[in-house]
Amino acid sequence: MSQLKRILFYGTDSLSAAVLSQLHQQGYEVRSVTKHPRTPVHKYCTRHGLPVEVFARGAPPFPSNKTQAPELGVVASFGGMIPGSVIRSTKRGFVNVHPSLIPKYKGPAPLPHTLLNGDTDYGITLLEALPRSFDQGKILHQRQLPVPLHMSGGEFWDHTGRLMGETLVGYLNTKPTFQSKQQDLRHASSAPKISAKQMKTVVRVCPHLHTADQIFNISRCADLFKLCPTVSWKDKALKLKGVHLVRDADIVSVLSSRLRPCQFVMHEGTLLLRCAEGTVLGISQIVLPFKDVQSAQHFYRDQCHGKTRRVLEMLYNPRDMGCDEEGVGDALQPS
């Protein structure tokens, strides 16, 4: 452990709780501040007997004498500004643990934007937390990481939480001097919050207009909201689960030449859906309205009535699906 022992921690969600867990397991004396008693951070503190307070604007947390003052502040996915008086009360200021390579994806939702944009790499940034600003401080440390393609959105979220904690603890254990560098604002981008209402629009996809990669990216992002891509078939809204990219060159070549977009075939227990630009999407599970999840094979057998022809059309209404016949419409853009 570093020479720093007493930490004042601000956090809210499960990413925050994963960082808090790492600090606790490494033996740091952590006092936490969270937004309300139902947050994962509050639940973790209660379960492990750690001191925790609910954030009150203008009220200093944990009044104490100078010998008990926190040596360092840490903020991870808190969702609010830390008062300047609180930042100044610590000996080393505050470290912000952010799940992107700052200055890319500043803001409250870097992970949804990472998945939605199909990024192949991302990272963890430790930067100085400043009063009256979000993600504007100097960079203390960065760790570049690959985005695992085999993980669902929820698995990627949990994986990132663990890496955020490991990155912070690893940095603190090196007994850092807190040397920092300015952000290169030429490469800055924002990651605004995506609401559940906005995501319900994003998941309405059109295989005629969206590529398999776009639908796959939407699927992983939607998983963070407990949603999945939806298409229209025979006037029914089908939810697609177990979505994956088909990279087999022979299969993609055959299907892209023989099928039109929105047509699909059954192959080894998986529905292979022809999408835009000659891409192919694999689907292992289907959810029909008011029904449980069923395998793609079960859906094909029951809903396609054992037809001998192998090619079936996945119909869609561009207006109903929020799409434009001429190109990708609002379905890809959070509104």
Quick: pLDDT tens for 154-172.
Answer: 999 999 999 999 999 999 9
Strands 6-11 and 72-76: parallel
Mean pLDDT (whole number) for 37-63: 88
**For tokens 């981008």, what's the residue?**
189
Q: What pLDDT does residue 319 have? A: 40
Q: What pLDDT does residue 312 have? A: 43
Q: What pLDDT does residue 316 have? A: 35
* Count of Cβ atoms closer than 10 Å to residue 67 Cβ: 6
Query: Is it the case that residue 321 has pLDDT exceeding 90?
Result: no
- Of the pLDDT bands very low, low, confident and very high (cuts 50, 70, 90), residue 2 is low
Distance CA 52, CA 314 (A): 53
**Choice among 55-69, 269-283, 309-323 with the minimum mean pLDDT:** 309-323
Range with top average pLDDT, 49-58, 64-73, 133-142, 229-238: 133-142
Of residues 191 and 320, the one with the higher pLDDT is 191
Six-digit token string for 211: 């590529």
Distance CA 9, CA 74 (A): 5
Query: Is it the case that residue 37 has pLDDT exceeding 60?
Result: yes
* Residue at 1: amino acid letter: M
Distance CA 179, CA 176 (A): 8
Of residues 21 and 335, the one with the higher pLDDT is 21
Distance CA 73, CA 82 (A): 10
CA 245 to chain CA centroid, Å, is 19
**Choice among 114-118, 196-200, 313-317 with the minimum mean pLDDT:** 313-317
Six-digit token string for 253: 């070549």
Query: Is it the case that residue 67 has pLDDT exceeding 70?
Result: no
Mean pLDDT (whole number) for 60-74: 76
Express as a percent the part of the chain with pLDDT over 70.
Answer: 87
Query: Are the CB atoms for 12 and 41 separated by under 8 Å?
Result: yes
Q: What is the DSSP string of 92-104?
A: S-EEEEESS-TTT
Give the predicted TM-score (pTM) of the model. 0.88
Classify residue 118 by burial, with Cβ atoms within 10 Å: 0-12, 13-18, 19+: middle
- Of the pLDDT bands very low, low, confident and very high (cuts 50, 70, 90), residue 50 is very high
Q: In what order do the strands lie in the sheet with 121-128?
A: 52-54, 29-34, 6-11, 72-76, 94-98, 121-128, 139-146
- DSSP state letter for 185: G
Q: What is the average pLDDT value for the chain, to the nearest integer?
A: 87
Query: Is it the case that residue 309 has pLDDT exceeding 80?
Result: no
Q: What pLDDT does residue 330 have? A: 25
Helices (H) and strands (E) in the chain, counts: 9, 14
